[in-house]
Homo-oligomer: A and B are copies of this chain.
């Protein structure tokens, strides 16, 4: 998409990490670029972005998780396997070279939760082809990712109604 693709990281405890990646993708496919988003630890087929991505040429979203939440204290072997497969798919997409932007959505979380190793992601980052834009999202981005990234944004929660007990709302937060 450009001579030199960057490594972007969206992290922090605030909202807008995945949506910023979605918006970036939406903007890029509108310009004719091809985007592949892999969603770690997500498997809810009812996500609104899947329906919209279907309508946007060049935008593929692949969910590589289960509908149920991952148990952070004791992740199921299935969740670990799926996260590993997600990373393997990322590597594959990168090697095929058919996309301009590769988004690993929630990959930071997957590392933090122990589903995959930070080192394996570091290897992927280091193997990034020059032209490719690589976007990593999720809370708790490991320092190694930040060190390797060109552009790092922290989404910081300033005010949040969930603290007041409001539930996540279908189609906005979910």
Contacts and interface: CB of A to CB of B under 8 A. Distances in A.
Given A20-B23, A146-B158, A153-B157, A30 B14 contact: no
Interface stretch (A47-55, A79-87, A123-131): A47-55
B26 A49 contact: yes
Chain multiplicity (copies): 2
Decide if the interface of chain A is mainly helix, strand, loop or mixed.
mixed
Interface residues of A, number: 54
A19 interface: yes
A149 B157 CA distance: 13
Interface of A: 1-2, 6, 8-10, 12, 14-24, 26-33, 47-53, 55-56, 133, 146, 149-161, 169-172
